[in-house]
Amino acid sequence: MTAAQQAATSAPPEILEREDIITGCEAVAQALRLLDVDVFAAYPIRPYDSVMTAVSKMIANGEMDAEFIVAESEHSQFEIGKHASLVGARSFIGSSGVGWMFGMEALVVTASLRLPVVALVGNRALDDPGAFGVEHNDALMVRDTGWLLYWVGTAQEALDTTLLAYRVAEDKRLMLPCALSMDGAFLTHSQHVVRVPDGELVRRFVPPYDLGDRRFHPDNPVSIAPQFNEDWVMEARRQSDAAMRRARTVIREATEGFAQVFGHGVQDPFLDSYRMEDADYALLGMGTVGMVGKVAVDRLREGGKKVGFVRVKWFRPFPGPELRSVLRDAKGVGIVDRDYSFGSNSHGGVLYTEVAAALYVSQQRPRLVPFIAGLGGREISVDNILEMEAIVEEAVAAGEDIPCQWIGVRGPKTDPRETEEGGPG
């Protein structure tokens, strides 16, 4: 199926509340209304703040009943979300860029307390310099802390995944917070046709939030988060690890449940693989790059080249088995990072580093070529994807590893002052 055919597929109309033309942020807000979220903690920063606007408008219009708490900073915002979740309220937080970073302490404790708060990260470049555009480094900062992490590709997926996120996060086997990442501008602020499902179906798909005997309440006297020191911390970490190890099963079940309840859905919860069946070459990325990526693949296929695109959806848990499987027969794969990890292996981004690690255990694996593109909200065009694909082919033909290439950056490709010792990084 091509990208155009995929978009044309629509769900049976009887399960829809309505169809609308809304932004990614508004799609999330629609999901939050349907989920009857109890507490919104908020603090404005672009581009996440569109969800604040959308939710507060719905509350003002009487379309939903919820506490909307505007904090004095992101740190307080996330603490409010955490505490609301602890007393049994379904809660929602979110931010962008350095706002997400500013609340990092509260994000970390939300994960270690195993509270299923759902967050929206409207991906934004970290200051300095000031910029509103997308980079993925903000959300990636929680990748090691016990947050489930998902990269949304379309506005419809934003709505659907918000429903999925609460179901997965609140599953008794997990109780982990979940952050949804959406590319600033390209998804948070662009309006797409979105099918809004019926509320009764949403209630069927996501049961009421139940914290059980962990609920903080006068009738349930417990102490939470005491000083543990070296005697207990490692055991607590192992519990979080065990929950994250269970996450793949829970996500798979929830994804299947989604298709059953809503009548549409995806086969693979973890990857969006496009024309990968016989692909010799592939490009791989996260977020909205998947849209132009698929168009580039269609063009290359028209020219007779066997090329595919892989969009990574869940970053935590990381889809190692699926990647090993889908990339097994490819000759070369270009990893498109919309983030950076200065000084890392091959000077590639975070996604490259993770994919490379995932493939290391494979006997049969493609040559990987790291790319960094689209930083600070720079557009990634179809031509950029075609350029990257050509470099991947060259690397495969030469049988050589290539250090990370920056695509779409002004200036020379390399600088003689960059020393190269012992190959690509």
Partner 1 sequence: MAVGSVDVTYRGVFQKNLAGVITKELVRAARREGKIGGTVQRYGDSPERNGIPAKQFAIIAEVEDELHVEMAKYEPDKVTVLCVMDDTLVKGVESWAWYGVQPIDVNLAPGGTLLLISKRSPEELLRWIPRRDFAWNLATLAGEPCFGGLWVYNDNGTDYRTLGAVSRVTDGLVGLASLCVQAEASSDGGRRAALLRDGYETVEIHPVAPGLGAENNYTPVEKPGWTEMREGLIIPAIEVGRNNELFKKFTTRTARPLVKFEACVKCQICYMICPDECFVPTSSGHYDVNYEHCCGCGICAEACPVSGCIEMVDEAAFDSNERLHNLYEADPGAYEQMREEKLARAGGPIPHYGVY
What residues line the site for partner 1 (CB under 8 A)?
Answer: 112-115, 175, 214, 221-232, 234-236, 238-239, 242-243
Name the residue nearer to partner 1 (CB basis): 18 or 217.
217
Name the residue nearer to partner 1 (CB basis): 60 or 242.
242
Contact between 120 and 34 under an 8 Å Cβ cutoff? The reply is no
Name the residue nearer to partner 1 (CB basis): 52 or 243.
243
Residue 326: in which H helix or E strand, if any? helix 320-326
Cβ 211 to partner 1 shortest distance, Å: 9
Name the residue nearer to partner 1 (CB basis): 179 or 243.
243
Return the closest-CA partner of residue 149 out of 138, 135, 133.
138
According to DSSP, residue 313 is labeled -
Cβ 4 to partner 1 shortest distance, Å: 46
Strand order in the sheet with 405-407: 271-274, 307-312, 281-285, 332-337, 367-373, 405-407
According to DSSP, residue 125 is labeled P
Pairing of strands 281-285, 307-312: parallel
Cβ 84 to partner 1 shortest distance, Å: 15
Name the residue nearer to partner 1 (CB basis): 73 or 220.
220
Cβ 248 to partner 1 shortest distance, Å: 19
Cβ 81 to partner 1 shortest distance, Å: 16
Cα distances (angstroms) measured from residue 351 to each of 2, 198, 285, 354, 413: 25, 36, 8, 5, 21
Contact between 119 and 74 under an 8 Å Cβ cutoff? The reply is no
Name the residue nearer to partner 1 (CB basis): 115 or 126.
115
Cβ 238 to partner 1 shortest distance, Å: 4
User: At a CB cut-off of 8 Å and minimum separation 6, what does 121 contact?
Assistant: 48, 94, 95, 96, 100, 138, 139, 179, 180, 181, 182
User: At a CB cut-off of 8 Å and minimum separation 6, what does 83 contact?
Assistant: none
Name the residue nearer to partner 1 (CB basis): 231 or 277.
231
Cβ 224 to partner 1 shortest distance, Å: 5
